A and B are shown apart, each in its own frame.
Chain A
Amino acid sequence: MTAPVRLAVHVGRDVPDGLTAVLSALPPDVQPVAASAREALPEGTVAHLYCSDALPRRPATPYAVWRVPGADVGDLGDVPALADAGARHVRPGDLQVSLRAWPDSARPVLPFTRAGLRRVRDLPARLVGEARSDGVSWGAPGEHPAEAPLDTWPTLAALASAVIATGEELWTALAWAAPAVTDAAGARLLGLTPDVDVLVGADPVTRARLAAELADDDLRAARLARSGWQTARSHRPAGVAAELCRRLGVRPAPRSTVSGLTAALDALGTPPHSLVRRRARAATAGLPGAVTSGWRPDREEHS
């Protein structure tokens, strides 16, 4: 067994919420350990994560910095910086951590498949959905929209050619990879880049026009949908943890135990009941351990 590699974590006065989540989501063979300047580093420490209020003049390298409110460390150059998504002190290029729950059962449906589903479900070929505080409205662009209760939003998020939303509804839309239009505050709050992850319109008329254009432009809608979905996903603690390891050059051991079929299927985003999972299980039925990610039931400890 290879020894785990350690990420030394230097915290200051407070521990940001997102930090706990990101550390919990580190790959299993990367262990976070508390560290301070006054004592020897634990064996196997390969990188450091400093909260900005505990950042010394000469940090040990390689390191990353978690921006804590009130302890501005400015531009860090190549050093990876992390921050809570949508916080005021976030700078462009920061890894943003969002603790919003990923909607249950959401799966990315890119515009091509959306069009197919609309056809199969007998919905308009071009369909724009909008979330408001009291409900949703939907319809072909330019026609009088129909109204529905807010809890039908996931259906629009999954099937519309383009959606208009902010806040939690925008998050849901991104989880379904909907081509989305929002306002400037909505984009900032979720850490999205205008024109890359979402389109931004200042007023309802502009947003409606942008959504109608998007519904007509397959290429742009596909790029926006893919990018928005990936960006939102990358803000989840697991995504941030993986990117942090990559930027710090921390590689889990190549013969990681997490190499089972299930891990591979999970990493690709396979839904729990899809056919390919059953096929994988059936194919490996005679090979215990293949499905359980290499975990062996006869082993006592498995942390």
Chain B
Amino acid sequence: MSTPDPTSAEAVERLRSAVSPPAPPEQPPAPRRWERAAARVAGRGRRAAAGLARRGLTPVLRRAEVEVGSRVQRMVAEALDGDPALAQVREVSQRGGLDPQLIRERDATVHSAHVNLELLKGELRHVQTTLDELGMAFAPGTGLAGAGARYAELRESVYALERRLRTAGSAPVAPSNPSDQADPADPADPAAAPIARATPAEGAPAVLSSTLFDYVGFERRFRGDPDAILTTLVDRYADLLSDHQPVVDVGCGRGELLGMLAERGIDVIGVEPDPGMAAEARARGIRVHEELAGDWLRSVPDGSLGAIITTHVLEHLELDDMIELLELAAVKLGPDSVFISETPNPASLIVLGNSYLLDPTHVRPLHPSLLAFLCEKAGFRDVRLRFYSPAEDYHLPMTAVDEDAPAWARELTASVNKGFTVLNEVLFGPQDYAVIARTPPAPES
């Protein structure tokens, strides 16, 4: 209350006397000297600490903290002379304590260094995520690690194209996919050429090589809880699909997935060659085309579809049929549309050894990298792989030892754990994977 401040008589006198001559730039009533100094030091300390934290120099930060602390302590000792509570503060001081205000200043310094560190971590993670995504876009399945090889591969393709251009003269550019040795293109429709040229699939999805096998009964017994499977599919893809309509389910079966998507107001179309299943799907009120996927896809206008999803279908197809389906999909989807295919992951050995071999209609294990490769070749631009549900129930357990266990025990545990981790990955890795491929965006007009 005795501190001179803006409400004091002196301050008011200044206001009154300053009527005409411009007064000397006198400071507005100031806080006590040590307060200003403390604030300045603490502020500087805070900034310094934040800077140091950025460089991760913990020991230096500690030293700075102590320094700020002791300087502030000296100031307190000076400033508190004459305070009635001096004795107590001094007593606390001698035991290593400080005025609470200054303890808080110091704590704030440490605290804001922590906060800065955390935020830097956050920024770093964001960069990491961006890089990972970039890698996945470059090299599905392997991420950044495989980007180099992938890049070399692309360069090789470009050279190959160049060579062929030179040798072919003015001939139309041939698509660089494995089926380009097939029938010649229909010259009347150059846009549809690569696809029309492909051998019409004999029975696109879900072709059975046996006429005796009861697939429906098999599925019922071994595929697992249909409700749980469906919910998982909806959780994984519904948001993405709703951004790209209409959605086509190739091999839609009884239309369970489409039914759930339709409930969310998504425009859906089913393709299912089996009359019994198609009828059940129609009973759900879904538009179903009862024909082979290849036939139906050929019949729709180019660029007219929003999204195509197939679940547990591609692994039932012969290679050429699969390639044709992928190429058709790339053409019939509009710009920046998505193609999703979820299948079992044969790279996880428990899947290969169990469910893959269990189903006799599986043509061959479809490795994620192969599928990603085929998608790229089919003309998709942005191809990503997602892996789901590791077989954690089977995971070999990690061992833990106390910090104070003997060194050999800790080393042993570490190497066992490392081995287990590798085994878990190879044997019991993700059971399903999906390829999510996008068509190129529309050219800027």
Contacts and interface: CB of A to CB of B under 8 A. Distances in A.
Interface of A: 9-15, 19-20, 23-24, 28, 31-39, 54, 57-58, 104-105, 109, 117, 121, 123, 138, 146-149, 151-159, 176, 260, 262, 272-275, 278, 281-282, 284-285, 288, 291-293, 295, 297-298, 302-303
B125 A148 contact: no
A155 B4 CA distance: 11
A176 B85 CA distance: 29
Majority SS at the chain B contact face: helix
Given A24-B115, A158-B7, A159-B7, A272 B84 contact: no
B10 to A, nearest CB: 10
B14 interface: yes
Nearest to A118: B12
B100 interface: yes
Contacts of A282: 84-85
A38 B85 CA distance: 54
B115 A23 contact: yes
Contacts of A28: 107, 111
B18 A148 contact: yes
A35 B122 contact: yes
> What are the 4 A-B residue pairs with the smallest beta carbon separation, nearest first?
A281-B85, A34-B122, A154-B6, A34-B121
B98 to A, nearest CB: 8
B53 to A, nearest CB: 11
A146 B16 CA distance: 8
B124 to A, nearest CB: 8
Contacts of B29: 105, 154
B85 A33 contact: no
6 contacts: A11-B122, A36-B122, A147-B19, A149-B18, A151-B26, A154-B28
A104 B14 contact: no
Contact of A109 (B7, B9, B25, B118): B7
Nearest to A12: B126
A281 B31 contact: no
Given A117-B7, A293-B103, 8 more contacts: A12-B126, A14-B123, A32-B115, A146-B19, A147-B18, A152-B18, A274-B1, A302-B103
Nearest to B104: A293
A303 B107 contact: yes
Contacts of B126: 11-13, 36, 54
A298 B119 contact: no
B3 interface: yes
Interface string B193-210: 000000000000000000
A155 B6 contact: yes
A155 B15 contact: yes
B245 to A, nearest CB: 17
B27 interface: yes
B180 interface: no
Given A11-B126, A20-B119, A28-B107, A292 B92 contact: yes
B115 A155 contact: no
B20 A147 contact: yes
A89 to B, nearest CB: 20
Contact of B88 (A38, A121, A146, A281): A281
A281 B29 CA distance: 27
